[in-house]
Structure 1
Amino acid sequence: MEQLLFEAAENDDAIQLLDILQSGSREGSSLDIDCRNDFGQTALDVAVDSGSLSAAGALLDSGARAGSAMLYAVDRQDLAAVRLIMDKRTAEDVMGSLEKDKGCHHSCTFSPDMTPLVLAAHHNNYRLLKLLLGGGFTLPDPSTFSWASGVRQSSAWLSTYQAMCSPYYILLTSDDPFSAAFTTARTLRDVCWKRENYRGLLEEMAGRCETFAAELLDEVRDSEELEAVLGYSRGDQQPPYTTLEMAVDFKQKKFVSHHLCQEYGLLLDLPAAEWESWSRMYVIIFNLMLCVFCPLLCLIHVIAPKTTAGKMASIPYIRDLFWSVSEVLMLVVVRGGGGGDISRIARGDPTPAVIVSTPQVLIIVWVLGLLIEELQEIWYQGLRYHLSRLWNLLDFAILATYITQLVLRTIYCTWWGRYVTENMADDWVVQTNPYTFQPVMIAEGLFAVFTVLVVLRAMGICSLSRNLGTLQISFGRMMFDILKFITILALVMFAFSCGFHRLYRFYGSVHGYMCDTYGESSLKTVSCARPHGYATLLATAESLFWALFGMGDLNMLELTPRASPEGVLHIMGKPVFTETLGKIMFVMYHVIAVLVLLNLLIAIMSASYQITEDNKEVEWTYRRLQDVMFHRRVGLTLPPPYNLLVLVKDVTGWAWRRASPWQRRRDVGSYDNEEEEARIAKTSEETYKMVVEQLAKRYILRRERATNGTG
């Protein structure tokens, strides 16, 4: 009887199907309309999967459960079957039927946690999704699935997020598809480190969301729509930021490198509207002129910011250039802050000791301006986001090293006044004698590090050039590669250090004792001019490190004994086994550390460079636009020391306004401004939603025509 039921369902024989059901009812047999075949399919499943809609309608009218049948209809992308089931069953009925079947594991086709909407989103079928969403079907919350609960839960989590990455699902369920796509992509990339076994799939899903956002942006047709989309500021974000800033913050490189995003960013960054028509030589001359007149233009901006010359310093491109000029000038000042006249010091002639010189004052002013800029950025964007950018970490290192050395010098000048004399020769002696006052030496070392960091900070100007900017990105990636390589190399060095120290520690200890006591080593190949390279664990690690660069001393491996005045410590004969084993270990160390690991580092660095080179357009444009958006968001000030003048001007103006008798009138005006800003924000939101709706229609129409072969 059951076999006849399945055959009638497959052959779309509704009359025979009803006869079988009625005869089974008359005979009082135990025919179950929801019985399953060997593959876990019900008669309704077979009918829907075979396209037998008449039989499917008869089974639905007879009370068959439609849960798994809906999955088959969606999987076949059969709109007629889906409509048939939705006409006779509600979404609650279908989901309830699937919930009952969860614990049975009957189906060989679908996982227990599969739902119709998830399956339709996997197919990215616009008509199916719209039909199911209109019928009340919803996606499960991914947070309800726990990865630690087993394969079933992790598969359900992945399946749900795959559905959330469907472009049509995003368009049909979100008023802000760009924000939804960016958020989903970022969520998937954030969990990659927890799910390394699924990293490839998660990256592919995140890339799908990013590609959708870029394709949706392709539907923009004019500058007004571009401004409405990329310039829309979300008031629910703190601080509020635009679509483009959100894409940069969420590292949506493919979207940010889109030609329309670049065009929009360049409109904010270009120094002049005629920039595109300029020749290369004219651009070079223009940049050189900006560098030469940088101090003058900064002062004009401070005094008269509304003038044509004053407005030039407000353009992000020019401000970036001015910061680079400021850093280069600081290098000149640092170089000019050297010591005094060596010939006078050598003769011992009285030379006044200048505690605070002119270069030092200029450096202090510059560092103070940099500190003000860093505090302003932290105030506007928060410490966590601020420290996420490598350039800000470098600025922090510059400030930390200089302030620390300045504190040490202040202590030196204040507490140890007896060292500050009227003779620079005496002061020079204090600095060169490590036993007088150590903070002086530490301050000198920190100032040297400060000089190096300022030079590295000046490399920021390379980001203005496409070729140099790409090399700068490769340099940063290679630094991370070196850090990963150092981890492996340190483990190898530590392993061999322990072995060499264990093998040579007796001979090294005897060598040190004999040299200290009698001034003569117990080994012929090693002199007392320096300690044995393998006597201590630290000395062993140092010897192996320099051996990487061909500076290892092979005499340390030789153990030819010398007659010793200490009979107890006399080496009776040459330890051939120990010496041979040590040489073999040294060769093995070179093979592993030099031939294998160093060549591995070269290969890794080459791969990093090739990745950057292959994605040059995306990498550089993203990094450049990231800087533009960052400076626009935090309001990049003038470079030091001119930003101090702006600060003094702003504080003075604020104090004057507070003391002004017209303050109450200004307060009323500020309240009106707040109302005006709220009105503008509401209008911007309405415009954004209207433009996004038009973009969605164009995107859907284009995709549907391409699917049907008409576009």
Structure 2
Amino acid sequence: MDVDEAMVRAAFGQEDKPVKACTHSSAEETLFALVEKGSVLDVKQFLEKNRGMYLDSIVTRQTLSCSALQLAARQDNFCMIKTLLDGGAMLLNKPDCEYEHLSHPCHSKDLSEHLAFIESYNAITSPSYIALTSDDPLCTAFELVGELNALIDKSDEDPFKNEYEKLRDKLEDFSTALMGKCSSTNEVLTLLRGKNTNKDYISSDYHFPTLDKAIENNAKTFTVDPKCQKVLLTTGFSSVHPKWAYSNNEALYFFYVVCLVVLCGLLQPFLAILCILVPCAKLNDKLKNPWARFLLAFFAHVQFSFMYIVTTVSALYLAITNSTYTTLTGVYESYIMSYAIGLIITIAVDMKLIGYKRYMSCIWNTGNVALLAYFAAQTILVIVYYHRSYDNSEEAALIIVFCRFMGSMGCMMNAFCMFNYIQVTSQLGPMLLSVKDVFPDASRFFCVFSVLQFGFTWALYILYYSGFDDSAGHSYIETSWRLVWALFGVHDMEALHNSAQLGCAGNNTNHSSHNSTLGEDCPIHVTKTSVYIQNYLALYIYIGYCGIVILAFLNIFIAMIATTYSRVQDNREKEYKFVCISTSMLYARRPFSLPPPYNIFELIRNVLVKFVRRLCSTSRNKTTPITKVEPCNYDQLIKKLLYMYFTERCRKQYH
């Protein structure tokens, strides 16, 4: 023991308390001390002298309990990790607490378990350990990034949340640094296509498994890397914008967009029919481009919006006038039904590609699900109405009201779904992403506002309460609405008094006698003086509402939104680029080139073509030709990039 350490232990009364590490053998203690010191040569000499030694013993030093390999991984010492692995050390295990389940380590009462959990992730996220133990270091890094992102999302109140964020940033810096070592377009493309020997992936211009893995785990720094974007632009992939969208002439850009949009909108039905009936290789290749698929999906949604509004208005008109259905109305409804079926297919495919949680995490995608729900409810109500043949009954009126509500909500959700296409525009996309981050603050304010609104409304209601009658519920709602309008500067105390006063309190009274207009049965004795005082008490409650809700909480809410908006402004370009690339990837990965409702017929065509091909192949010969696939040079490229990365890091350490 060092003399200084002995003096420190003696000063704090620790000399008589043995450390747990003393339970281990001297050889294990020596190895742990050498690894902690960072002396690779000494560790090599020690392992040569003690061949066959067990290297995975857990040694405890004060608050640190780990093996020699875990300690070297925490230090990110490449040579030390290589030496221990060559000496026979076993690979590290991931923490026992699975991040997919609710058994988060922060739920544990034992602090030591939580610290051990963090230290385990600190070791397995070491770039040196990943490079030496993984067959595909990039994919392993992305998987760990996804796990850490899941831990961060579940640990809002965890004091160690910053530790997870640091580990995630370390992995993202490692993957981005490997991308930065690429010196040519072919190397970047090879890196993005990943370790996949599938011929379809190699020959296709729009399939990048490594990039899919990065987007799946929200590795945003790697996805928006300038080299990655530049290479993807050469394939027409990176964004849903065409190449001329980056022109400095905004007027020419707007003119081109309008012309292209109008042309695609007019030709979309004919293009879809041509693609389905007369499949052409060149046309199919053009439709594989994500920009083309995006335009087709956008115009299909615009057509659906027009048809949906026309169909809803026509159905209401026919219900009101008791008219019969026309052929044109039937065509509109057939289109709406087919679009709904095609949208269900698209949602199912997207959920299979990116996962249910990730799909529903985007608030704009939830609009598609809500649109289908409202449309289904509206269709059921219409069927019930015409099946039961209601005339002028109460049930018919209620069904018509709910049918109108479902139609109006469907139109609103239909407009809400347009944000799926607006969010990738360079002019409006960053703003929408910033607004999306403000929603949590708005939900918190709404919860607090609802409680205060409930309390002040009931305070005014009870002050004027004089018994239950037909206008009681109406008066409560009117009082609540008057307070809501006060948030927007509409202060009308006279209307507030009229909406809140009930029974005897709402009638003319003199200063001394009971109101005679209601007779002797009126339960409350009201005079002019009492009403005057009552109104002043209501005024004090109203002033309290204005002071607490309007002056305090409303301004706090505005400050919260301003703070959140300014915070997300720094990362909005990064978020916008990530959304553009992930949207392009999703459109490129879809098995259908056409949007709803044309994807229904494309699905039928693909099934028939596949069936015919299988039938023809079995009738001819059951032997399958061997396809020679060229070996992928991804492994050689990864080794080259890792060599350059660790060589540069060693030079920085020694210089």
Verify same fold: TM over 0.5: yes
| CA separation of 1:600 and 1:264: change in aligned 2, threshold 3 A | farther
Question: Which AA in structure 2 matches 1:65?
Answer: S
- Aligned counterpart in structure 2 of residue 113 of structure 1, from 65, 76, 100: 65
Whole-angstrom CA distance in 2 between matches of 1:667 and 1:602: 72
Q: Return the offset for 1:442.
A: 1.4
Contact 1:612 1:619 in 2 (8 A): no
- Aligned counterpart in structure 1 of residue 291 of structure 2, from 313, 317, 324: 317
| CA separation of 1:274 and 1:451: change in aligned 2, threshold 3 A | closer
Aligned to 1:293: 263
| CA separation of 1:284 and 1:344: change in aligned 2, threshold 3 A | closer
Whole-angstrom CA distance in 1 between matches of 2:254 and 2:313: 37
- Aligned counterpart in structure 2 of residue 253 of structure 1, from 204, 211, 220: 220
* 1:47-70 residue CA offsets vs partner (Å, 9 max, x unmatched): xxxxxxxxxxxxxxxx98244444
Unaligned runs of 5+ in 2: 11-23, 98-104, 202-206
Q: Return the offset for 1:542.
A: 4.9
Q: Return the offset for 1:286.
A: 4.8
The count of residues paired between Structure 1 and Structure 2 equals 600
Residue 311 of structure 2 corresponds to residue 326 of structure 1: no
* 1:75-94 residue CA offsets vs partner (Å, 9 max, x unmatched): 44333443454344468467
Aligned to 1:212: 174
Residue 488 of structure 2 corresponds to residue 549 of structure 1: yes
Report the secondary structure of 2:418's partner residue.
helix
- Aligned counterpart in structure 2 of residue 477 of structure 1, from 437, 453, 470: 437
Residue 118 of structure 2 corresponds to residue 158 of structure 1: yes
Aligned to 2:20: none
Determine what percentage of the aligned residue pairs are the same residue. 20
Contact 1:230 1:244 in 2 (8 A): yes
Contact 1:322 1:639 in 2 (8 A): yes
* 1:96-150 residue CA offsets vs partner (Å, 9 max, x unmatched): 5x64xx4xxxx5xx52414433333333222222223323345653535866252
Q: Return the offset for 1:256.
A: 0.8
Q: Return the offset for 1:371.
A: 2.9
Contact 2:466 2:523 in 1 (8 A): no
| CA separation of 1:83 and 1:343: change in aligned 2, threshold 3 A | closer
Residue 340 of structure 2 corresponds to residue 367 of structure 1: yes
* 1:302-324 residue CA offsets vs partner (Å, 9 max, x unmatched): 34443545543331111101211
TM-score by length of 2: 0.79
Report the secondary structure of 1:113's partner residue.
strand
Whole-angstrom CA distance in 2 between matches of 1:343 and 1:613: 47
Question: Which AA in structure 2 matches 1:610?
Answer: S
Whole-angstrom CA distance in 1 between matches of 2:87 and 2:117: 23
Aligned to 1:78: 39
Point out the more displaced range, 589-598 or 385-394.
385-394
Aligned to 1:25: none
TM-score by length of 1: 0.73
- Where in structure 2 are the equivalents of 1:659-674 lying within 5 Å? 662-665=616-619, 668=622, 671-672=624-625
Question: Which AA in structure 2 matches 1:220?
Answer: C
- Where in structure 2 are the equivalents of 1:74-473 lying within 5 Å? 74-89=35-50, 92=53, 96=57, 99=59, 102=60, 110-138=62-90, 141-144=93-96, 148=108, 150-192=110-152, 193-194=154-155, 196-232=158-194, 242-266=209-233, 267=235, 269=237, 284=254, 286-294=256-264, 295=268, 296-306=270-280, 308-309=282-283, 311-337=285-311, 354=326, 356-378=329-351, 383-384=356-357, 386-416=359-389, 419=391, 436-473=396-433
Point out the more displaced range, 565-574 or 585-594.
565-574
Contact 1:67 1:95 in 2 (8 A): no
- Where in structure 2 are the equivalents of 1:471-620 lying within 5 Å? 471-497=431-457, 499-501=459-461, 503-504=462-463, 507-510=464-467, 513=469, 531=472, 541-551=480-490, 553-554=492-493, 555-556=496-497, 562=509, 563-564=514-515, 565-566=519-520, 568-571=523-526, 574=530, 582-620=538-576
Whole-angstrom CA distance in 2 between matches of 1:181 and 1:175: 11
Contact 1:70 1:116 in 2 (8 A): yes
Whole-angstrom CA distance in 1 between matches of 2:540 and 2:621: 84
Whole-angstrom CA distance in 1 between matches of 2:620 and 2:433: 48
Report the secondary structure of 2:194's partner residue.
coil
Q: Return the offset for 1:462.
A: 1.9
Q: What CA RMSD, in Å, does the superposition of the two structures yield over aligned residues?
A: 4.1
Whole-angstrom CA distance in 1 between matches of 2:640 and 2:412: 53
Q: Return the offset for 1:409.
A: 1.2
Aligned to 2:635: 689
Report the secondary structure of 1:143's partner residue.
coil
Contact 1:301 1:311 in 2 (8 A): no
Contact 2:342 2:597 in 1 (8 A): yes
Aligned to 1:15: none
Specify the structure having the higher radius of gyration (Cα). Answer: 1
Q: Return the offset for 1:695.
A: 1.2
Unaligned runs of 5+ in 1: 11-35, 42-62, 420-429, 517-529
* 1:501-537 residue CA offsets vs partner (Å, 9 max, x unmatched): 5x42xx3234x55xx6xxxxxxxxxxxxx6588x75x
Report the secondary structure of 1:569's partner residue.
coil
Contact 1:66 1:94 in 2 (8 A): no
* 1:328-384 residue CA offsets vs partner (Å, 9 max, x unmatched): 2333334444757999999x9x97664945443433333333233334445656655
| CA separation of 1:6 and 1:593: change in aligned 2, threshold 3 A | closer
| CA separation of 1:144 and 1:68: change in aligned 2, threshold 3 A | farther
